[in-house]
């Protein structure tokens, strides 16, 4: 439910904004790239495009080690990720855009950034601390390729070079670069923006260089959704080398809500933040506060914010291929700024500051975005309250029933992969723990996925396999037990989904899920909504 509050004062929205930045290491000052008042929100997708190669793993195999035992990018031989089997690309990686409700959307802005350390085409470490070029050529890096959802061919894209460190005496050993392209028009031409984006031909050094090779891309999107609260969203880009120094970025041109909880989000992207090197921080304060507060959440530490990961809120962003938890020197983050009792951002706040700081690990920051809830132009504002969804569900074997069931749509993930046949061992079909302790009151997460040429519907999935032969063995096992089991492969991740039933409606899928396939299947199952979340664009998009 939304409560509309009318104010006597008139809300004035200011589009003009300034950024103030302080640092001797600030190579390219951060400037406003985009800013707007929006009834909607902002989001990101991203992926790295180089990965380790060792005796056991090629670069397309995800690097999941994100612990204290993980190696850093300068301890690996780094090579391009190239997932697409396309002779015209030498590097490529993918990520899926997921928007979490079915209300009509209008894409207002889409900015793509790609960045890498690129001193030369390839290099080696001849002896400890001594690096040499194997191929000293350095090609043009501001032209890449991008493939949009439901498209078979790439589009060529040329961007604006924000920074090239090759000519900088202090940074030449790393030679980081950053490129930007406004791709809003590409997205507004799509029938649906939800789905898989593949970015290709991003250049980086192969092998080793001083400090290690890192590279990746970040797509930042602002969209309108009239069912959402009003927000002020602004983005900044530039280039700052942070190591034993700090840089401030000031966000202004807004006014936070006059009453109630102040909610704000932050997005950022950087190079060279290492998993095991601490000391790098993002700190935040509003103009009313004297002290800065270190930012952190469940997956990012206050003293190691840039830790080679791609995260959205309190989770690693899993909907990408490869889906490495450790992205070896490339970071992208979207998070809600913790603000209990408005302790960091107050009501009627008009200015806030983001501080980039490090007293240890070096990182290169090049993008930041800030979004905060504000009043509508007419002075009204909305407070959203969360309630459980009461769904009427039709059960084929019983009469209509009403279940107090909270249904939440989430991106599909690979956390339920159940391959156990490795190195020739026997595949196990032992029952898993039954998670349905209460069949009439519970929370249900419906995973959402888009796959070209696969019939849309609601699939009751029993298992996911990264090894296709294991999937076929499990599928045949289910058939032998009397189930009409089938399977399909996600071409982005190469994972095979084995499912028990496919239904056309969400209500029927939830009912069958709650009944455990009419009490015939006692193992864990889950609902996958496939090709049902196509984004509806408003008529005035073009």
- Alpha carbon distances (Å) from 242 to 49, 171, 365: 23, 12, 8
Predicted confidence at residue 413, as pLDDT, reads: 62
**448-317-154 Cα angle (round to 5):** 75
Report d(CA 46, CA 330) in Å as an integer.
Answer: 10
Structure-token pair, residue 259:
């009453």
Yes or no: say if 406 and 443 are a contact pair by the CB < 8 Å rule. yes
Yes or no: say if 236 and 368 are a contact pair by the CB < 8 Å rule. yes
C-alpha dihedral (367, 90, 175, 25), degrees to nearest 10:
10
Yes or no: say if 384 and 2 are a contact pair by the CB < 8 Å rule. yes
Structure-token pair, residue 457:
């519907």
393 contacts: CB under 8 Å, gap ≥ 6 = 400, 401, 402, 403, 405, 507, 508, 510, 511, 514
State the pTM of this model. Answer: 0.77
Q: What is the DSSP letter of 254?
A: -
Low-confidence residues in the chain, pLDDT < 70 = 1-26, 101-102, 378, 381-442, 533-542
* DSSP codes joined into one string, 277-340: ---EEEEEEETT-SS-EE---SSSBTTB--SS-EEETTEE--SEES--S--SSEEEEEEEPP-G
Report d(CA 402, CA 494) in Å as an integer.
Answer: 39
Nearest CA to 146 out of 206, 100, 95 is that of: 95
Predicted confidence at residue 408, as pLDDT, reads: 63
* DSSP codes joined into one string, 79-145: EE-B-S--TT-S-EEEEEE--SS-S-BEEEEEEEEEEEE-SSSEEEEEETTEEEEEE------SEEE
Strands 92-97, 215-224: parallel, antiparallel or unpaired by DSSP?
unpaired
Structure-token pair, residue 462:
């029993």
Yes or no: say if 121 and 137 are a contact pair by the CB < 8 Å rule. yes
Report d(CA 234, CA 33) in Å as an integer.
Answer: 8
Predicted confidence at residue 217, as pLDDT, reads: 98
Cβ-based neighbour number of residue 390 at 10 Å = 10
Predicted confidence at residue 157, as pLDDT, reads: 98
Strands, E assignment, 122-229: 122-127, 130-135, 143-147, 155-158, 160-164, 176-182, 195-200, 206-207, 215-224
Predicted confidence at residue 278, as pLDDT, reads: 82
Predicted confidence at residue 177, as pLDDT, reads: 97
- pLDDT tens digits, 74-104: 788 999 999 998 999 999 999 999 887 668 8
Cβ-based neighbour number of residue 170 at 10 Å = 10
Exposure on the CB side of residue 176, measured as CA atoms within 13 A: 28
User: What is the CA 415 to chain-centroid distance, rounded?
Assistant: 16
Report d(CA 7, CA 4) in Å as an integer.
Answer: 10
127 contacts: CB under 8 Å, gap ≥ 6 = none
Report d(CA 60, CA 58) in Å as an integer.
Answer: 6
Q: Is 424 helix (H, G, I), strand (E, B) or coil?
A: coil
Yes or no: say if 508 and 457 are a contact pair by the CB < 8 Å rule. no
Q: Is the peptide bond before 322 cis (omega within 30 degrees of 0)?
A: yes
């Amino acid at each position: 439910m939304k409560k509309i509050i009318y104010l006597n004062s008139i809300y004035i929205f200011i589009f003009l904004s300034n950024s103030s930045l302080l640092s001797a290491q600030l190579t390219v000052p951060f400037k406003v790239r985009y800013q707007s008042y929006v009834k909607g929100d902002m989001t990101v997708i991203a992926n790295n495009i180089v990965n380790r190669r060792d005796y056991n793993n090629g670069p397309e195999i995800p690097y999941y080690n994100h612990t204290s035992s993980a190696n850093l990018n300068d301890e690996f031989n780094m090579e391009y990720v190239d997932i697409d089997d396309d002779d015209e690309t030498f590097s490529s990686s993918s990520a899926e855009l997921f928007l979490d409700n079915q209300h009509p959307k209008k894409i207002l802005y889409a900015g793509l950034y790609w960045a890498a350390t690129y001193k030369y085409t390839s290099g080696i470490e001849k002896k400890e601390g001594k690096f040499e070029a194997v191929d000293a050529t350095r090609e043009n890096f501001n032209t890449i390729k991008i493939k949009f959802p439901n498209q078979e061919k790439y589009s060529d894209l040329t961007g604006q070079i924000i920074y090239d460190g090759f000519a900088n005496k202090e940074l030449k050993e790393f030679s980081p670069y950053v490129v930007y392209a406004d791709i809003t028009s590409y997205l507004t031409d799509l029938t649906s923006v939800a789905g898989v984006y593949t970015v290709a031909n991003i250049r980086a050094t192969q092998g080793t260089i001083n400090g290690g090779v890192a590279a990746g891309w970040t797509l930042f999107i602002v969209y309108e959704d009239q069912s959402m609260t009003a927000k002020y969203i602004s983005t900044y880009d530039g280039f700052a080398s942070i190591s034993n120094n700090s840089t401030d970025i000031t966000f202004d041109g807004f006014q936070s809500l006059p009453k109630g909880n102040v909610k704000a989000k932050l997005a950022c992207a950087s190079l060279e933040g290492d998993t095991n090197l601490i000391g790098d921080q993002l700190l935040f304060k509003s103009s009313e506060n004297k002290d800065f507060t270190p930012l952190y959440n469940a997956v990012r530490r206050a003293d190691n914010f840039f830790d080679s990961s791609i995260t959205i809120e309190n989770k690693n962003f899993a909907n990408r291929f490869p889906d490495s938890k450790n992205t070896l020197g490339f970071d992208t983050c979207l998070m809600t700024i913790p603000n209990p009792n408005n302790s960091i951002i107050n009501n009627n706040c008009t200015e806030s500051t983001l501080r980039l700081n490090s007293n240890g690990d070096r990182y290169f920051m090049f993008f930041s975005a800030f979004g905060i809830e504000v009043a509508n132009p007419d002075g009204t504002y909305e407070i959203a309250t969360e309630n459980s969804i009461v769904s009427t569900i039709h059960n084929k074997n019983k009469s209509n029933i009403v279940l107090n069931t909270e249904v939440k749509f989430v991106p599909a993930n690979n956390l339920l992969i159940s391959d156990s046949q490795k190195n020739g061992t026997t595949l196990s079909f032992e029952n898993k723990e039954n998670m349905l302790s209460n069949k009439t009151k519970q929370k249900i997460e419906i995973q959402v996925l888009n796959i070209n040429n696969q019939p849309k519907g609601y699939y009751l999935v029993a298992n996911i396999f990264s090894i296709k032969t294991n999937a076929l063995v499990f599928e045949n096992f289910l058939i032998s037990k009397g189930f009409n089991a089938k399977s399909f492969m996600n071409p982005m991740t190469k994972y095979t989904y084995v499912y028990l039933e496919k239904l056309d409606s969400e209500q029927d899928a939830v009912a069958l899920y709650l009944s455990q396939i009419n009490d015939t299947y006692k193992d864990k199952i889950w609902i996958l909504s496939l090709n049902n979340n196509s984004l509806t664009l408003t008529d005035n998009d073009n």
